[in-house]
Amino acid sequence: MPFLTLDISEGGPRFQATEALPLHSMVEFFLKLPGQGQAVKAHGQVDWIVEAAEGGYQMALTIMDIDRREYLALTRCLRKQVPTPGDDGIKVEPE
């Protein structure tokens, strides 16, 4: 189901769609982040639903499962940090 992201935090997105998802249902979603080649994929749970004044429904998801690298990309974007080339946020100690 396509949706319009209204805002997002590290906990999850708030979005608008034409149809309501069932409350507490688990969904897979993809977020396109500025400057990222691919969308961030995550799984979330629908926490609340309200009818939007302009039609459709506003809903909020709590992120329940996300790959660590994709979570780091999301938090960088939200904090407006620009990663350096090759920086994936994972520290590797030399042998």
E strand residue ranges, the chain: 4-9, 12-17, 26-31, 40-51, 57-66
Residues 6+ apart with CB under 8 A from 89: 68, 69, 72, 76, 83
pLDDT (0 to 100) of residue 85: 47
Q: What is the mean pLDDT of residues 4-29?
A: 90
Q: By percentage, how much of the chain surpasses pLDDT 90?
A: 42
- Which tens digits make up the pLDDT trace of 71-95? 888 888 888 754 444 444 443 333 3
Can you give the residue ranges of every domain in the chain? 4-78
Domain 4-78 has CATH 2.40.10.220: yes
pLDDT digit string, tens, across residues 54-66: 889 999 999 999 9
pLDDT of residue 37: 75
